[in-house]
A and B are shown apart, each in its own frame.
Chain A
């Protein structure tokens, strides 16, 4: 288990600033996700860790060693890419064996390691198949086995689930977490999918415009967003007018209390839509005060409001963050 750290990393492409002074340290065995919209710099950070991009300034360290200028093939990192990256001319087993051959591991050890890795990703029977004979999910599992076969000091995952459909994505997401916890490999996971990041990570780094907006546990990022951007990007958010009239309060749908008694709580409004979603019912209310729509999550069955009903709302004490005007 090794730590990976970025210190003061800046990277520009022409006039575009991809990363602006990134400071991030992954503890040994930790899985950190970089989450953010397209163009926020998360993939650039991962590519700098892999050695595919050289930062303009700053230092990348692996444990005690500085690897900023170390070529990609000498970094001992495993990487899984967004698109299917298996070598089409090699079988599944040969793909997994690829990195071991580069490291000149003796054949008996290589064979046993390949078998072990394929069992780990539950594809032990498919060693002789070619990549085009596998489904997308299976290809990404093989890519994961291939990256892990070389016992990398750090595992880099560049949106490995984004090409898969929802069902396979969720299965493979859990698999990645299981395997990572089992092997305790320090892992940097890049994604734009907040559900993925919340489900899989020890810590999440939310990025915007080349900057790290917040680094914290999934609970921190969701429940205590450090900035309006984080609040808006992770989970859904309502924007309510601040009681003092300056700025807004950003509050999650589940942090709003709703009452069928119009006079019970501070804000009043009219129900415009009721969406049943199993355990939760989403109630959309047009608030009188600013004529804005507010979504409220209520436990299904707890509220029986209908479209057109008058209701009252309040923010749960201690929740929501204030955005200055």
Chain B
């Protein structure tokens, strides 16, 4: 049965309306938060008539001068680098091995990696509380957060690496490399990793996003990471705290945009030469 013109118009309009409604749903609270953080007015005075008045970055610049700001940000960045390296060191060989030698175990590994997503961080914290008295030597170090962050980031990082591995003909590339005289290690560094570049970058960005956003575990372990600093700072200066949160959100968004651009550039590279072109070349 043919659709009427009005039905077709509605079919086109509906997705646009849903998109606009979703954008408002997500953007409105953020814009409200931005007004609170960056508009130099009392909350009680905020209204439509002064929407564009007295905007300033003073709240966020004030937070920069806090004694603990640089320390917290540096620690979080170090943790992000450590977590990214640890994650890659653990995941890339594991995922390659599973793809090559244990393809049937892939479903099980996927299930394992999704657990941190299903089980809330607070459950992990409960576990930490139990082991804390026996592992103080380890938990006293700021870097003890790294293994926890690796686990928390697993649902995102494993998927990213796994997708990268599915996009290449891993078995044939590895066998080609081995038949040309490469050891397993050389194959990993000269063939697998270079061809997983986009997946590795995306996994790293996702790790950084998790580390810069995680609060629960660092708070329980009394570490002064950037999210902990933000939470504490918000208590003394709510506007500055929210301004920092917006900046962190902006940073994370930029990371995701970068992932998008990198993935796009990978998928839009020149296509295989067509059969007809091939015949022209060879005849």
Q: Are A and B genuine complex partners?
A: yes
Q: Is A77 engaged at the interface, CB distance under 8 Å to the other chain?
A: yes
Contact of B181 with A168 in the complex, beta carbons under 8 Å:
no
Instruction: Return the CB mask of A61-76 against B: 1 if under 8 Å, else 0.
Output: 0000000000111111
Q: Is B1 engaged at the interface, CB distance under 8 Å to the other chain?
A: no
Please indicate the chain A residues that have their CB under 8 angstroms from the CB of B273 in the complex.
133-136, 138
Q: Number of A residues whose C-beta is below 8 Å from B?
A: 40
Closest to A149 in B: B180
Q: Is B182 engaged at the interface, CB distance under 8 Å to the other chain?
A: yes
Q: Is A109 engaged at the interface, CB distance under 8 Å to the other chain?
A: no
Instruction: Return the CB mask of B137-170 against A: 1 if under 8 Å, else 0.
Output: 0000000000000000000000000000000110
Q: How many angstroms between the C-alpha atoms of A242 and B8 in the bound complex?
A: 71
Contact of A137 with B194 in the complex, beta carbons under 8 Å:
no
Please indicate the chain A residues that have their CB under 8 angstroms from the CB of B282 in the complex.
135, 137, 167-168, 171
B34 to chain A minimum Cβ distance, whole angstroms, is 42
Contact of B183 with A83 in the complex, beta carbons under 8 Å:
no
Please indicate the chain B residues that have their CB under 8 angstroms from the CB of A51 in the complex.
178-179
- Given A102-B186, A135-B281, A137-B282, A85 and B180 contact (CB-CB distance below 8 Å): no
Please indicate the chain B residues that have their CB under 8 angstroms from the CB of A85 in the complex.
169, 172-173, 175-176
Please indicate the chain B residues that have their CB under 8 angstroms from the CB of A171 in the complex.
282
Q: Is A87 engaged at the interface, CB distance under 8 Å to the other chain?
A: yes
Q: Of A52, A88, A132, A135, which is in contact with the most chain B CB atoms at under 10 Å from its CB? A: A135
Please indicate the chain A residues that have their CB under 8 angstroms from the CB of B283 in the complex.
167
Q: Of A73, A147, A167, which is in contact with the most chain B CB atoms at under 10 Å from its CB? A: A73
Contact of B180 with A146 in the complex, beta carbons under 8 Å:
yes
Cross-interface CB contact of A103 among B178, B181, B183, B277, cutoff 8 Å: B181
Contact of A81 with B172 in the complex, beta carbons under 8 Å:
yes
Q: Write 25 A-B pairs (CB below 8 A) sorted by A numbering.
A: A50-B175, A51-B178, A51-B179, A52-B175, A72-B178, A72-B179, A73-B182, A75-B179, A76-B181, A77-B179, A81-B175, A81-B176, A86-B176, A87-B191, A87-B194, A89-B191, A89-B197, A132-B269, A136-B272, A138-B273, A138-B278, A138-B281, A146-B176, A147-B179, A165-B275
Given A83-B172, A167-B279, 5 further pairs, Cβ under 8 A: A50-B175, A86-B176, A98-B182, A133-B270, A165-B279
Q: Is A35 engaged at the interface, CB distance under 8 Å to the other chain?
A: no
- Scan residues 158-195 of chain A and give those whose CB is less than 8 A from a CB of chain B: 165, 167-168, 171
Majority SS of interface residues in chain B? helix
Q: Is A115 engaged at the interface, CB distance under 8 Å to the other chain?
A: no
Q: Is A207 engaged at the interface, CB distance under 8 Å to the other chain?
A: no
Closest to A141 in B: B282
Please indicate the chain A residues that have their CB under 8 angstroms from the CB of B58 in the complex.
none
Contact of A99 with B180 in the complex, beta carbons under 8 Å:
yes
Q: How many angstroms between the C-alpha atoms of A103 and B272 in the bound complex?
A: 31
Q: Is A78 engaged at the interface, CB distance under 8 Å to the other chain?
A: yes
Q: Is B252 engaged at the interface, CB distance under 8 Å to the other chain?
A: no
Q: Is B40 engaged at the interface, CB distance under 8 Å to the other chain?
A: no
Contact of B281 with A87 in the complex, beta carbons under 8 Å:
no
Q: How many angstroms between the C-alpha atoms of A77 and B172 in the bound complex?
A: 15
- Given A132-B269, A136-B272, A89 and B179 contact (CB-CB distance below 8 Å): no
